[in-house]
Amino acid sequence: MTGSLDFLLLLSVVGVPLAALLAPSVVGRWLLVLLYVVQLVELALLGSGDGARSAVSFSLLGHSVGWQLDALGWFFAMITVAAAGFSAAYAAGEWGTLNARAGLSLRWLYVGLQVNVFAMLVLLAAGDMVALFIGWELTSWAGLLLMLLAGGEAIAAARRYIVYAIAGGMMVLGGLLMTLAAAGSLQFDAVAAAIPTVGTSALWAITLLFVLGFSVKMATMPFHLWQAPAYAFSPAPASAFLGAISARMGLFAIALVAIKLIGIVQLDRLYLYFDALNLRNLLAWVAVFTAILPTFVAMKQNDARLLLGWHGVGQGGYMLLGLVMADSLGSAGGLLHVFNHATYQAILLMAVFAVIHRTGTADLNRLGGLVARMPLSFLAMLIGIIGLAGLPPMNGFVSKWMIYRALILEGQPLLFVATVISTLGTVLSVYKLLHNTFLGQLRLEHETVKEAPWSMTIPMLVLCVVVFVTGVAPGLVLEYVAAAQQALGLAPVAFILGGIDSPAGTLDMIWVTAILLAGFGIGAVLFYLMGGRSRRVHQLDNYAGGHFLTADVRYQYSDNFYAGLMHRIRPWYRGSFAWAEEALVSTFGAIATAARGFFEQANPAHWVLVGTTLITTWVMWHALV
Amino acid sequence: MHWSELAIELTLMPLVAFVVGLAMVLMMRKIAARLQRRVGPPLLQPLYDIVKLYGKRTQTSHGMLHEIGIVMAVGGYVAAETLLPVPGMNGIAEKGGMITLLYLTMIPSLGLALGVGQCANPNGSIGISRALTAMLAYDIPLVIVIAGVAIHFGTTNLVDVIAQQQAGGIATWGAVQMPLLAIAGLFALQGMLGKQPFEIYVAPAEIATGPMVEMGGKFLGGLFVMQCFQLYTASVLYVTLFLGGGENWIAFLAKAFAVLVIPMSIAFLFPRYRTEDMITMLWKWPVVLGLIGLAFVGS
Amino acid sequence: MTDLTLAVALPLLAAFVRPLFNAGALRWLGQLIGPVVLALVTVILFAHWSTFSEPFAIALGGFAPPLGIAFYVDRMALLFALAVPLVTLLLWPGDDGADGARRQSLTLLLAASLTGLALSGDLFNLYVFYELAAVASYGLVAGNGSSAGYVAAFRYLMISALGSVVGLLGIGLVYFKTGTLNLAELATLGNELADPQGLAAFAMLAIGFGVKAEMFPVNGWVPEVYGAASRRVAALLAGLASKLAVLVIVRILLLMFPSDEARQLLLVLGILGVVSGELAAYQARDMARMLGWSSIGQLGIVFIAFSLPGEAGLVAGVAAALHHLVVKSALFVLAGPWGGAIDRLRGAATVSALGAGLFVLFALSLLGLPPLPGFWSKFLVIGGLADAGTALHYLGMAAVLTGTVIEGAYLLRVITTLYAPPAGSPAPPRQRGSDLLTAGLFGIALLAAAVMIDPLWQTLDALAVSGVDTAAYQQTVLAAQEAHP
Amino acid sequence: MTTQIGLVFFIAAIGLCVIGIGGIVLSRNLFRMVLALAIAEAGANLLLVLAGYRWDAVAPILSAGQMPAPMVDPVPQAMVLTAIVIGVGVQALALTLVVRVKQRYGTLDMQLARERMNAEIDATADVTPPRSQERPRGERPLPAPAGGAHD
Amino acid sequence: MRNIATLLFLGGLAFLLIVITGSLDFGAPPMRIGTQIQAATAGDVGTANIVTAVVLGYRGLDTLGELSILFAAATAGGLVLGSAAARARPDGGFILRAGADLMFPLLLIAGLYIVIHGHLTPGGGFQGGVILAAAFFLPLLARPGTTPGHRWLMWIEGLSGATFIVIGLLALYRGDAFLTPLFDHGTLGELVSGGSLPLLYLAVGLKVGAELAGLLMRLAQDDEVTS
């Protein structure tokens, strides 16, 4: 049996009313999870490199619009459907029941999830640029559906999101139609063939419009402000799903348009004054700053969800950076990071929402010490942060390693250094997350907290296994990454099961992991078998002589966790971007008020006179000159 | 390479590291004593300390994670040592490379941080916060140095790096080829070792030795072991990157100890910086030197 | 085949006799006469539309053009003419009493005059129909009996009359230079109008007809009129009347002043309209005026589209105009109970789920969400701008795209307010069934258009091909002898 | 000579137009605005009539079935006839509106009438006007609409 | 300040318009259709007054539109002012009353004459209609108390308008275009000539008269002013 793209799309369309029908009941929700499994199986049956073409195609306004899933799209589609499945499972049990009781519409939640999956499939399987844009806009608006659900502060975040998203969409539309004007067609082949003949200025415009437009979804700087709150304040499964994959649609589109259609060689035509100031380098620097700045913003956050949201923005920078390197290693690293990020970000958000589910707060200053109460969630978050920080042996390390290697091989030491700065910031930040949530002193009101229900922990733990396995054996994923690279027209990466095999430096994660585990083994032997028996005492029975044990106010070092660092770097980021955004909005508001005043205050008859005179003057002047 | 040979190497490398590390600790304490006009400890004092701590009757654990933290701290270094080539033994250095090594050395820190976090002592948390900040501070020059070296030699494989340096004698040493980076590397080394003036995270009088505050018995013993590995790793890494690695064991050890003398001597002559001053210090001169050095490498 | 002049004559006849059946035994006739006549006209026009093969002209009074007035019937004229009775029927003021009869009478007059605007091929006759539409709309605006309505209608009247004076000067200039009023004959005299005076005449005509088309400097009346008039009247004016006025300007542009300067003028005015309208709408605090400003912006886009040369411009313009016709009419209908302050709409979705859903549908189409027709109209407009490729066109492109972003900002503000939890007292306003029905019909039309987008586009393309064919226009009209068979 | 006389006529027509337009724009009195409109329309009509004027021609009336002499163009005359009637209709409607505005708002001042209209629209829509447009304190309230029959 | 700006703009507009019109050829119109109409009127329409031929024949639709505008204005006026009842108004006085009585038949006859001879001499439905309106309005000024007879006016208004259209439609029924003149042209210059044009003019006259009278009455009798 082989899969068919039409069947897949049909499945996901049918899923929408099914979701509306089934979502309110527990059994129905599990059936919906099953639906995702079916979609995933169908997708798997399609196969990575087959380029399954949909039988459905339209001729719209003279453009033939069709769908074809190539290896790149397939790679993203697998992640998308899987992320949706895990999110759906997470909410299927107790979470859904309790939140429905609290007033959340599960029907809209599941419908939103399924609509998102459908929209993304439409985008990922786009067979031409019209289909691409249709998918793009659908994806943007579908995301809004999920963001609006939680109400409250989510609404403001969603409004901000949609303004950004429309701005991005309009840039893409402009680019699309400039392409049409330049190439005369919107078919991928025709565009790719026509691009080399396009003039430099037109190519600048087209490329910039596309890249900027897609970047908005990626939330690369300077469009990074919207994403963290928009994703963070969505309901748990929506947040996990959006955080895992939604923003990556921008990466997919950039890869498709900038690398596949326009082509790296053509991009090198675009430079400002010097060869070195070419578009690729500019993009790389934008990507690096996107990796750095949001990471340090994340470090400041006191809301666990926002912290993760900002990291999501930052990690997008890595992916873009790897991609614009456009060599076999870097682009593979970028694409692999998409998968890796999806897995550990989902774990982290699920863990945070598990904590919220039990304690009712995500405020990092109001948590702590939960490791003894919620050990499984702790384990999940630990594995997640190891992945996010990019430490071996989790999968985040592999993709980051590949990007570092690519940067060094491409002779970009500054980019490399900057990237590592971001990683270090990530380490600091995620430790804060873990420490303030699970470590330190347990608060009195959380003494009776229980572990999250199995319906929430199982998806997390399964994902943990995925993170570990793909960390140890990245070759499992790299196979598909290589296929995706080929679909993009890039040289595929030379991979082995354990990692990368190249003359200029090898990575074999199987060895690294084995050694690490062996080291831990030795460490455990040294610790447990030697020396005296240790006595387990109460957490708070520490050197202060039991003082903490009796205190009503627990001593948890959480607020302004990196006080020294913040003291030093605070002057460096005074929220300039937020300030700029605010300034832009208020300037805009002032202009808008002026425009309104034009209609409400000015004498319209006066304007008829002025208009007539000016127009006639223009006409006569035009005629005379 | 036969698997048994490899197995022997993988066993020997951490062991050597531990022994050399003990000697380095001894040297460190001797230097401190000499600078302070003291005699200093006897030869086996570092080992005695560890044995004594392991043998203590009161072994207070604050929970599973507290223990795992120590296991990770020691185990991570044990694993890291196998990626660091020593004369005659490459271990699995070719399967990892310097970036992997760099990241593996973060595992012990993470382990320690987890353990300390479980102890629920605010002083420990403050210590960890400062330690991580210090890491951020010294890693930036360190990474600049590593990037420079990697680009200079065109590889991240430490075995290749050593081979290239040894190809032309002293003239091809990293320190000769990239003096600025070598100097920047020394700063980073100082920070990496966590000695004065960069030891704010321990600050005994202020936060009761920070991360170690709840550590006693074999928990502290584990940390002592970790310190041995840490000294060894830092100095050998520097030797590998800039001083041509070890042509033979004698030269290797001589270089490794010599490298350590510099930071040790500095350490005991200075008071400590505050956190933000430490950041300023490490982000100013070494970074500037490193970037200039990088520019020469790049061109 | 019935004669097309019936489409103008029958509503006029009905309007004349409507007040007579206001009371007594024949009241039912009075109530019925308007809808029946409009339906009849719709059927007539639709019959013509479905059997249309090639353009033809009707010489009114049997006087061969260019002596008499001629109607010119091509697909474009038919399409717009067909829209008139259809939309009027949907927005029919179904109220009773003496004032109701007058309102219906005025609505019928408006419908007749708008149909005339679509069909007429005579410059002065266009002016007459335009004035008829204007007077009827003054009456309708003032007709809801509010004091604000009287002031708004008076101010509207003054601006419009001012525009008419300017337009009349333009007609005078044209007649001075050419001695004829027939558009077809004027089209053959292109050279005589291709000088500064000709361009000035075009500018004056554009200002004259631009008042109803909400063209940039002469649209000061829009917010207050839409704020003060009843929403269905606003829907008629913003949705329907403005489109016919645009059509007139386009006809004049195509036939009499096919110069780059004239197009440039329209383009610049369109850009200014988009920018000013959308910006002002962003700051609106009540729905009715927000929609009014938004329609200024949308008509700016329509002007930009029509300023594009060739068929591309016509296709884009007609698509944008038709889309705005459907969407803005429907939005104004929905603004009936919801026309007040946007803040007061909190939770309105809970009391009128269908209304909120329809609002979202129309808003999304207005913003250009892909499968909806709004996207395709935007696609055509921007595609045309990208194709034309001068700096001014790129500026237009930037204006349209930016305008959409602003539109997104304020429409989303409304949508999120609609779906926000209710604020308690006062209860959020509820939609009326009749309004929902009307808006629902518009919604069905929109969805149907989304499904049949390609046939629609082909139709528009064919329409545009004949629309830009001024030679055919000249031949058809000037060859029309005596009576139409 | 002939062009000079033409110029005089043109100046007359344009002058009427411009005076009328200026009257509409500048005057605040509603009734004067209607009068100004009449003047402006007269100007436009004059220009239209001028378009049909021929030197040494007679009125376009056939006597005994033939043209006695060159006749002026009849079309502009017909147009003007139409335009005048249109103008009459518009002005009549404008006057009815003036009457009503005067009754409702008790003023013929455009500025005041507009402010009150905007206030009424805002009040109907339940919108609070922005602060900068708030009217000074102590102003007299809107007169209550007279005669409840129409409200 | 604003006034000065306005005056500047006005001056600019006047200057521009004079520049534009200055280059026009005054007194020698191109008369593209004018000449042809002059030549064809006798044969096509058969009215001595060519302007009438243009108004009702060649441009009959304009006239229909014009009638509709008047009707629209009247209807809108009705909508604005409502169907007001008469209010007590100071009596017109003896002179006015006597004058009105005297003038009424004269005005009626003059109006009707001008309407009916519209196709022969200068004048026509509009001019005559206005006189008719004056004829009916004058007594109202003189005797404010009399019932105005809105209903009658309304019927005249509606039916005369309808007549105009029906005459146009009859041509359609006959197979000609809308508003094609009916009947034989008759002899040029005679009263009964010009086919259906005199009928149309009669309808126009009645309608204009009724509408203007109605509007004037409404304005005069409006009673909302109580303050």
Res C483: pLDDT: 42
Distance (Å, whole) CA B231 – CA B190? 11
Note the pLDDT tens digit of each residue in A322-366. 988 888 888 999 999 999 999 999 999 999 999 999 998 888 888
Res A252: pLDDT: 92
Helix %, strand %, coil % of chain E (to 5): 70, 0, 30
- Amino acid identity, position B209: T
Q: Are A403 and A327 in contact (CB under 8 A)?
A: no
Distance (Å, whole) CA D147 – CA D150? 7
Q: Give ∠ CA E14-E17-E22 in degrees, rounded to 5.
A: 120
Beta strands in chain E (DSSP E): none
- Amino acid identity, position A296: F
Look up residue C68 and give its DSSP letter.
Answer: S
Note the pLDDT tens digit of each residue in C415-465. 988 888 877 767 788 888 888 888 999 999 999 998 888 888 888 888 888
Helix (H) or strand (E) holding A67: strand A63-69
- Asked if the structure places residue E88 within a domain, the reply is no
Q: Where are the domains of chain C?
A: 268-477
Residues 6+ apart with CB under 8 A from A148: A154, A155, A158, C416, C419
Neighbour count for residue B259 (Cβ, 10 Å): 22
Closest CA relative to residue C143, chosen from C112, C107, C111: C107
> Which chains have 3+ CB pairs within 8 A of C?
A, D, E
- Mean pLDDT (whole number) for B70-76: 90
Distance (Å, whole) CA A390 – CA A392? 7
Neighbour count for residue C28 (Cβ, 10 Å): 9
DSSP H stretches of helix in B120-216: 122-153, 158-167, 174-177, 179-193, 204-207
Do B and C make contact via 3 or more CB pairs under 8 A? The reply is no
Q: Decide if pLDDT at A50 tops 80.
A: no
Mean pLDDT score of chain C, rounded to an integer? 88
- Chain A residues near residue D24 by CB distance under 8 angstroms: 605
Closest CA relative to residue C181, chosen from C63, C22, C8, C10: C63
Res C270: pLDDT: 93
Q: Where are the domains of chain A?
A: 289-491, 576-624
From the number of C-beta atoms within 10 Å of its C-beta (0-12, 13-18, 19+), residue A4 rates as middle
Q: Decide if pLDDT at C80 tops 70.
A: yes
Q: Higher confidence at residue E118 or residue A401?
A: A401
Q: Is C279 an 8 Å CB contact of chain A? A: yes
Confidence label for E145 from pLDDT (cuts 50, 70 and 90): low
Cis, peptide link before residue C337, omega less than 30° from 0: no
Q: Model-level pTM?
A: 0.90
The pair of three-digit structure tokens given for residue A254, joined into one six-digit string: 């950039």
Distance from CA of D115 to the nearest CA of C (A): 10
- Mean pLDDT (whole number) for A110-134: 91
| DSSP result, C406-449 | HHHHHHHHHHHHHHSPP-SSSPPP---HHHHHHHHHHHHHHHHH
* C148 with D121: Cβ contact below 8 A: yes
Residues 6+ apart with CB under 8 A from E198: E116, E118, E119, E191, E192
Under DSSP, is residue C38 helix (H, G, I), strand (E, B) or coil? helix
Q: Higher confidence at residue A622 or residue C201?
A: C201
- Mean pLDDT (whole number) for A300-305: 88
Q: Are C170 and C210 in contact (CB under 8 A)?
A: no
Distance (Å, whole) CA A174 – CA C378? 10
Q: Decide if pLDDT at A445 tops 60.
A: yes
Q: Give ∠ CA E19-E25-E28 in degrees, rounded to 5.
A: 160
Q: Is D118 an 8 Å CB contact of chain E? A: no
Q: Is E20 an 8 Å CB contact of chain A? A: yes
| DSSP result, C53-64 | -S-EEEEGGGPP
Res E86: pLDDT: 47
* B110 with A431: Cβ contact below 8 A: yes
Which residue in chain D has the smallest CA separation from E7?
A: D22
Question: Which residues of chain A approach chain D closer than 8 Å at the C-beta?
Answer: 593, 600, 603, 605-606, 609
Q: Is A620 an 8 Å CB contact of chain E? A: yes
Q: Is A607 an 8 Å CB contact of chain C? A: yes
- Amino acid identity, position B135: M
Res D144: pLDDT: 54
Q: Is D24 an 8 Å CB contact of chain A? A: yes
Look up residue C216 and give its DSSP letter.
Answer: G
The beta-carbon neighbor of C157 closest among D50, D52, D94 is D94
Helix (H) or strand (E) holding A547: helix A547-550
The pair of three-digit structure tokens given for residue C316, joined into one six-digit string: 């884009």
Distance from CA of A606 to the nearest CA of E (A): 7
Helix (H) or strand (E) holding A269: none
The pair of three-digit structure tokens given for residue C166, joined into one six-digit string: 């300017």
Closest CA relative to residue C292, chosen from C222, C219, C215, C365: C222
Q: Are A191 and A182 in contact (CB under 8 A)?
A: no
Cis, peptide link before residue B14, omega less than 30° from 0: no
Percent of chain C with pLDDT over 90: 40
- Mean pLDDT (whole number) for C221-236: 88
Substitution target from E8, E37, E224 for chain D, most D beta carbons within 10 A: E224
DSSP H stretches of helix in E82-147: 94-116, 125-142
Res C364: pLDDT: 92
Q: Decide if pLDDT at B173 tops 60.
A: yes
Q: Are C177 and D150 in contact (CB under 8 A)?
A: no
- The region of weakest confidence among B45-49, D114-118, D138-142, E13-17 is D138-142
Res A377: pLDDT: 92
- Mean pLDDT (whole number) for C458-475: 85
Distance from CA of D149 to the nearest CA of E (A): 9
Q: Is D149 an 8 Å CB contact of chain E? A: yes
Note the pLDDT tens digit of each residue in A182-238. 888 888 888 888 888 888 888 888 999 999 999 998 888 888 888 888 888 889 899
Closest CA relative to residue C100, chosen from C41, C146, C140, C133: C140
- Amino acid identity, position A329: L
- Chain E residues near residue C98 by CB distance under 8 angstroms: 78, 82-83
Dmax over CA atoms of chain C, in Å, equals 70
* E68 with C109: Cβ contact below 8 A: yes
- Mean pLDDT (whole number) for A583-592: 89
Confidence label for A551 from pLDDT (cuts 50, 70 and 90): low
CA atoms within 13 A on the CB side of D146: 14
- Chain E residues near residue D149 by CB distance under 8 angstroms: 82, 224
Distance from CA of D129 to the nearest CA of A (A): 12
Which residue in chain C has the smallest CA separation from E159?
A: C17
* B79 with A519: Cβ contact below 8 A: yes
Distance (Å, whole) CA B91 – CA B7? 9
Distance from CA of B36 to the nearest CA of A (A): 31
Distance from CA of D96 to the nearest CA of E (A): 6
Distance (Å, whole) CA B154 – CA B298? 11
The beta-carbon neighbor of A609 closest among E9, E19, E20 is E9
Closest CA relative to residue A297, chosen from A3, A573, A48: A573
* A608 with C162: Cβ contact below 8 A: yes
Q: Which of A442-456, D26-40, E177-191 has the highest mean pLDDT?
A: D26-40
Res A355: pLDDT: 92
Mean pLDDT score of chain A, rounded to an integer? 86
Q: Decide if pLDDT at C360 tops 70.
A: yes
- Mean pLDDT (whole number) for B278-285: 86
The pair of three-digit structure tokens given for residue D5, joined into one six-digit string: 């006389």
Domain D2-55+72-131 CATH (choose: 1.10.287.3510, 1.10.10.60, 1.10.8.620, 3.30.70.1400): 1.10.287.3510
Q: Is C185 an 8 Å CB contact of chain E? A: yes
The pair of three-digit structure tokens given for residue C302, joined into one six-digit string: 């329509």
Reading across the β-sheet that carries A507-508, which strands appear in turn? Answer: A495-496, A499-500, A507-508
Res A83: pLDDT: 93
Q: Give ∠ CA D52-D55-D60 in degrees, rounded to 5.
A: 55
Substitution target from A607, A613, A619, A620 for chain E, most E beta carbons within 10 A: A613
Q: Give ∠ CA A440-A442-A444 in degrees, rounded to 5.
A: 150
Distance (Å, whole) CA C106 – CA C117? 16
Q: Give ∠ CA A39-A499-A417 in degrees, rounded to 5.
A: 105
**Crossing angle for the helix pair C242-256 and C470-479, nearest 10 degrees?**
90
- Mean pLDDT (whole number) for C254-273: 89
> Which chains have 3+ CB pairs within 8 A of E?
A, C, D
Residues 6+ apart with CB under 8 A from A2: A45, A46, A47
- Mean pLDDT (whole number) for B185-189: 87
Q: Decide if pLDDT at B74 tops 60.
A: yes
Residues 6+ apart with CB under 8 A from A607: A598, C217, C218, C220
* E76 with D147: Cβ contact below 8 A: no
Average pLDDT per block of 10 residues along chain D, 151 residues long: 74 91 89 93 91 80 71 87 90 89 85 85 74 49 48 39
Res A49: pLDDT: 64
Distance (Å, whole) CA B125 – CA B129? 6
**φ, ψ of residue C132 in degrees (nearest 5):** -60, -45
The beta-carbon neighbor of D127 closest among C124, C224, C286 is C286
Q: Are D103 and D146 in contact (CB under 8 A)?
A: yes
Substitution target from D14, D18, D21, D127 for chain A, most A beta carbons within 10 A: D21
Under DSSP, is residue E155 helix (H, G, I), strand (E, B) or coil? helix
Note the pLDDT tens digit of each residue in A227-284. 888 888 889 899 999 988 888 999 999 999 888 888 888 887 787 777 777 888 888 8
- Asked if the structure places residue E38 within a domain, the reply is no
- The region of weakest confidence among A131-135, A504-508, B23-27 is A504-508
Q: Decide if pLDDT at A600 tops 80.
A: no
- Beta strand A535-536 with B60-61: parallel, antiparallel or unpaired? parallel
Res C286: pLDDT: 85
Residues 6+ apart with CB under 8 A from C103: C93, C95, C140, C143, E79
Look up residue A499 and give its DSSP letter.
Answer: E
Distance (Å, whole) CA A129 – CA A132? 5
